[in-house]
Amino acid sequence: MQPRLTNQVVIITGASSGIGAAAAAAFVAADARVVLAARSAAQLSALGEQLGGLDRVLVAPTDVTKPEDCERLARVTAQQFGRIDVLVNNAGVGHWTFFEELTELEIRRIVETNVLGVMNAAHAVLPWMRLQGRGVIINVASTVGHMGFPMMSVYCATKFAVRGFSQALRSELAPTGIAVVCLCPGHTDTEFFAHAVMREHRWRHGLQRAASPAKVARRLVALAVKPKPEVVLGVEGRLLAWSCRHFPRLTAWLAERFFKA
């Protein structure tokens, strides 16, 4: 049975495409009120109309790297719907290239979006959730937050950071009724590489089968209803996390072999 979040208010960052857009559709289907946040106003507006209009969906163009944008996002959400029940911290940018080929500006963009963006959004919603005495913050990390992977050095570093931040924040908020979840999807069939920082390197498919964004979105809804500390999606993802924990040298060797293949 589809979990229900009737009249719960859900903010989704990175909502204009991929997992974020799929999550928006899944939360609307679960009867939630959804706030779409991303930099692209045009894409958000089109998605908002597709999902049912202003009575259930609020479009809020937001650059998560700017604290003032995130504060405005939380404020307009509370003004429109009266509360903030769930934050899905999904905005992110990746790369598939050697670390030494990245420019300082590219490194900064990845870190500011993937790490500071998560922190900015969480910082903005927490005062509202504390007033309510409840809430759920879901930080979307990655299976590569369990292991450093070639060609994704900075992206991996940011996802390790998201996992560590989630663990620490969860402990801080344990007495408050606010849950912190870390979701680690694997390779997902999205526009990730279309928006990633790339050079003349071909993405090697095959380490993980691509999951559908809708499947990830359904898990996000389930975690909003019944939070868990950390969830790694997919058999391959769980195997990778287990292998990194118990056989780090073997796992690193296999990653290097995959990279060189």
Q: Which residues are catalytic?
A: 155
Distance of CA 143 to the CA centre of its chain: 12
CB 203 within 8 Å of CB 259:
no
Q: In angstroms, what CA-CA distances link 244 with 111, 146, 211, 248?
A: 23, 7, 21, 5
Task: Report the length, in residues, of the chain.
Answer: 261
Q: Which amino acid is at 207?
A: L
Distance of CA 224 to the CA centre of its chain: 13
Token pair, residue 35, equals 């706030």
Give the span between the Cα atoms of 194 and 203, in whole angstroms.
11
Q: For residue 184, which of 147, 150, 215, 139 has the smallest C-alpha distance? A: 139
Q: State the DSSP string of 118-137.
A: HHHHHHHHHHHHHHHT-EEE
Q: Which residue has tokens 């979105």?
A: 217
Give the span between the Cα atoms of 121 and 89, in whole angstroms.
7
* Angle of CA points 230, 71, 54, to nearest 5°: 85
Backbone conformation region of residue 59, classed left if phi is above 0, alpha if psi is from -120 to 50, else beta:
beta
Q: For residue 142, which of 178, 112, 106, 118 has the smallest C-alpha distance? A: 118
